[in-house]
Amino acid sequence: MDFADSPDQAVFRGQVEDFFAKNFPAALAMRADEDPFSEEAMGGPATDKATAMKLWRAALVDKGWIAPAWPKEYGGADLSPMEQFILNETIAERNAPRVGVPDVGSTIMVHGTAEQKAEFLPPMVRGESRWCQGYSEPGSGSDLASLQTRAIRDGDDFVINGQKIWTSGAHLANMIFMLVRTDPEAPKHRGITYLLSPMNVPGIEVRPLVQMSDARGFNETFFEDVRVPVKNAVGEINRGWYVGATHLDFERSSIGSAVGQRKMLDTLKDYLIKERDSKSGKTRLGQVDAPRLEFADRYIEATVAKTLSQRVISMQARGLIPNYEASMTKVFATEFSQRIARTSTKLLGLYGGLRDRNSDYSPMKGRWATMYLSSVSATIAGGTSEIQRNVIATRGLGLPRG
């Protein structure tokens, strides 16, 4: 694994820094003391953030960095994995919002027809389509191939009936990509088709699932006699399982997550130093040994997280496909987020559990208490830690299946 930039990579890193210096609106950078859930942070109408976001998005589109891995003919920049790594690392270091295209575009790029590419890709680049993923079902989470949402062909349409769950952003999306069962008699991993559908067609109902952190990102999505054109099937009908598993060879090192976690620790450290005890002049970091040493462990783990990300991108740069290495990165990063949340609540004391954003007693407007609750789902979304450990055990260590 090579930690240093090559001469060409150093030149590209300089180009990225220059681009940010000239184009990134200062209004979009999150301040260390800013409430991430405030109207200002969320780009509400009372601020100039909405305008700044439009300018920032337009700059990325002009550069092709809105979809850095895509070919230039579709609005991308055709960047190499290492160039994407450098770009994403800089975005994270600058506290810049992640603006890009949904992963469904990569699947359409590989398996879609020319007509599908012309219809669906340009709106992604322009930011006109917002997608959600219809994969998980109440009885098909980790064992996704057991999904039961049925799609029966009727002439030029599929008629869909069933339910999806944990549909992130479905209440905001205008498009959905989903896996449906089109041949119930086929083996479990066969008979599945990958479909694209608008969300505003008759028969789709979205119900919110409110998390214990009060977040409203997850949803249940119900389909009742929903008609989707057969031409919206991506790839071969009944072979959608393999279409859904497709991803282009674009950077997935999670460097943004690793850098972001270190910056969370920086923010917490700065806050604790700022909030010195008025009598002793000490910070909470200096008052209690156990949390102080625990905080030091978190910083060490932040370096581990970044190193795991660098390992993944180093493999991709050599033309290798990370497998269990990516699972190691995922399970470490998500469990690390939970450890950061636990440490923060210890260091902040009893006030650390307050989540009232309007209370002067809530440290940083309840940011850390909210993180403590929301981090629970991190080890479930995108493949549970148990699944990741199975991959590491069987494919990494060569252990037999139980």
Would you call 233 exposed, middle or buried from its count of C-beta atoms within 10 A (0-12, 13-18, 19+)? buried
DSSP string covering 82-121, please?
A: HHHHHHHHHHHHTTPPP----THHHHHHHH--HHHHHHHH
CATH architecture assignment, domain 131-244: Beta Barrel (2.40)
Stronger pLDDT, 132 or 252, i.e. the higher one: 132
For residues 69 and 63, give the distance between their C-alpha atoms in angstroms, rounded to a whole number: 12
| 251-260 mean pLDDT | 83
| 377-395 mean pLDDT | 89
Per-residue pLDDT, 111: 95
Q: Of 299, 275, 301, 298, which Cα lies nearest the Cα of 287?
A: 275
For residues 261 and 255, give the distance between their C-alpha atoms in angstroms, rounded to a whole number: 10
Cα–Cα distance list, 253 to 18, 60, 327, 399, 400 (Å): 23, 21, 11, 25, 27
Per-residue pLDDT, 288: 54
Residue with tokens 């690392």: 89
Question: Phi-psi region for residue 398, left (φ > 0), alpha (ψ -120 to 50) or beta?
Answer: left
For residues 292 and 282, give the distance between their C-alpha atoms in angstroms, rounded to a whole number: 12
User: Does pLDDT of 205 surpass 70?
Assistant: yes
Which pairing describes strands 131-134 and 175-181: parallel, antiparallel, or unpaired? parallel
Percent of the chain with pLDDT over 90: 59
Q: Which helix (H) or strand (E) holds 338?
A: helix 324-348
How big, in percent rounded to 5, are the helix, strand and coil portions of the chain? 50, 15, 40
Q: What is the CATH number of domain 7-103?
A: 1.10.540
Length of the chain (residues): 402
- Label residue 283 by pLDDT band (50, 70, 90): low
SS3 for 220-241 is: EEEEEEEEEEHHHEECCCCEHH
CB 369 within 8 A of CB 353: yes
Range(s) of the chain covered by CATH 1.10.540: 7-103
Range(s) of the chain covered by CATH 1.20.140.10: 255-396
- How many CA atoms are closer than 13 Å to the CA of 133, on its beta-carbon side? 17
Task: Give strand pairing partners of 137.
Answer: 140
For residues 364 and 243, give the distance between their C-alpha atoms in angstroms, rounded to a whole number: 44
Distance from CA of residue 236 to its chain's centroid?
28
Q: Which residue out of 83, 137, 251, 301 is catalytically annotated?
A: 251
For residues 73 and 64, give the distance between their C-alpha atoms in angstroms, rounded to a whole number: 10
Per-residue pLDDT, 105: 93
CB 60 within 8 A of CB 296: no
CA angle 125, 71, 109 (to 5 degrees): 75
Q: What is the CATH number of domain 255-396?
A: 1.20.140.10
Phi, psi of 168 (to 5 degrees): -65, 130
Stronger pLDDT, 351 or 45, i.e. the higher one: 351
Q: What is the pLDDT of residues 2-54, one digit of tens each?
A: 678 899 999 999 999 999 999 999 888 755 444 443 444 434 444 578 888 99
Q: Of 332, 317, 177, 178, which Cα lies nearest the Cα of 250?
A: 317
For residues 47 and 27, give the distance between their C-alpha atoms in angstroms, rounded to a whole number: 9
**220 catalytic residue (yes or no):** no
Mean pLDDT of the chain: 87
Q: Of 330, 342, 216, 357, which Cα lies nearest the Cα of 290?
A: 342
Per-residue pLDDT, 33: 41
Q: What is the pLDDT of residues 100-149, one digit of tens each?
A: 899 899 999 999 999 999 999 999 999 999 999 999 999 888 788 999 99
CA angle 219, 223, 227 (to 5 degrees): 135
Phi, psi of 340 (to 5 degrees): -60, -45
Range(s) of the chain covered by CATH 2.40.110.10: 131-244
CB 218 within 8 A of CB 169: no
